[in-house]
Structure 1
Amino acid sequence: MTDQTHRSGFACFVGRPNAGKSTLTNALVGQKIAIASSKPQTTRHAVRGIVTRPDGQLVLIDTPGLHKPRTLLGERLNALVYDTWAEVDVIGVCLPANEKIGPGDKHILGEIAALQNRPKLVALATKIDLVKKDRLLAHMAAIDEVGREMGIEWGGIVPVSATSGEQVDVVADVLLSLLPEGPVYYPDGEITDEPEETLIAELIREAALEGVRDELPHSIAVQIDEMIPRADRPENKPLIDVFASIIVERDSQKGIIIGHRGERLKEIGTAARQQINKLLGTPVHLQIHVKVLKEWQRDPKHLGRLGF
């Protein structure tokens, strides 16, 4: 007889910046809902991705990477991580197979090990497309070893590549198997509960992060000022006007985003528009302005207005 149990619950991925958390979230959901970039602290919101199957429903919360905060924004992002840990059933710890387990990983594992009500834990050896088999086996042995050192009992050690799709279904199986019995929380077909405006702002920020360097990534925020369907369009050819602001902290940063004769801003607009068209399934006309909000990462009022 087959197991008719329906499992449902919440899981999140943790790991150092660029450990593959957002890419894995997108791969499991089957659509892009979380932005991915090689820049640290790319993720700033706890984005929920929904995986619905006949045997269960897995709600994935994509969180920022835990880091040493240097601003009020950094402190609030870390607080968001700890809040998420308190409400999930399972934590997937992303430990990239192409890098040795380092102090940053151990710090995160130590924080999880110290939790009073510790969720179930799964180790995910991410980025397996970048290593040979012997390196992967050594990495999985190291994960097992560090778990024992920290007093952590793994509910599984799963090698996965979100980029190639290898073992993504196995990750879903393992996470679902560790969830409690429960109801369906979201209707079938729903893949996120994030408002469209938030997803669109994130796609613009992702495009703006491409190719910028040093401290600038942290200084970029995006706000959607208005989204309106173009009134004079026939029903079968809709167009949505999206007006957005890229917010930076200094005039020099504004110059970098705009670029020589507006070239950089044009590139950002083109890249973001393609992604937004995909997300909405409707062509958009995107208009972006760049605004300076001095030291917004350190100002509680500005942070509140920007949703942090």
Structure 2
Amino acid sequence: MSGLTRCASLLLLALTFPGLAVSEESPQPLPDEQDAWLDDMQDNVSASIDATVRWFDSFFIDETQPLDEAAKAEARLRLGWEPRSRDLMEFESRFRVRVRLPNMKHQTDLIFSDYDEDEQGAGIKAARNEALDNRNRFSMALRFTAKKTEDLNISHRIGVGRKLQPYVKSEIRKTFGLSDISNLHLEGSVYYYTQDRFGSRLRAQYSYQFDDENMLRFDNNFYYRDKENDWIWQHSIHRYRQLDARTGLIYGLFVEGSSRPDYRAEEYLLSARWRRNAVREWLFFELEPFVLWRRDEDFKPSYGLAMRVEAYFGELN
């Protein structure tokens, strides 16, 4: 077992200890030594990230047009253990770093990650489509914002991904306010990878707000792959419920399928996710019991429990 996997195991086991329980009002205080260790780690990582991106941004300074805004960055690290009845050793680690570079022309972000955040797959690793997930284990891209308003965003990317293939991508996002409590969000993108060739993604998301604490969301995604000449489709419905300022519940049903050899479902996922901001403002813990049915397992139910910890460093806002 790798060092990162052992670290994930230790962090996730902390979820079972009563010492992590917190009140509704505020996180439970920790002993001074542990307080200092956590805070120093977060501060040091955030400071290191900020210093690096400011050094990188300095190469693009135009002395004739000085800017008041400084380069900033944020990073997210996620560790998880997702045992299920057919695989008890399902571990996962994910990271994403986003950098804002004000000295480059237009609004520019530099993104490093081991996954593509635009691929709207299932939250459970065992339920993700390997054709979409595994090929995106590392990505580095410059994202240029061509137009950004409250309900419209047009951007372009150039970078490497999918096993270090150079690629270009253009994306448009538009939100339509249907009423005071509902909206329709549409996304479309086209891209070209040097080996996978052309592809596209279409997304339609409908949201309905019951009240301040409850929301229903229906999501539809379609991915066209030129190399395989097929479509991967995903439909999901989620109910979001906010229990208090730091705790939320998400109930969901996710279905995924493909167009070859015919239009059919490949898997079903039923889950309930509990998410809690505890101990620190930048730490989040999750528990997600789930049931998974997959075609390659003859649609026999597989029961599991995902346990995750997520940490945020730096801040773009």
Q: TM-score range by the shorter chain?
A: under 0.3
- Higher relative helix content: 1
TM-score by length of 1: 0.25
- Higher relative strand content: 2
TM-score by length of 2: 0.25
- Of structures 1 and 2, the one with the larger relative CO (CA 8 A, separation 6+) is 1
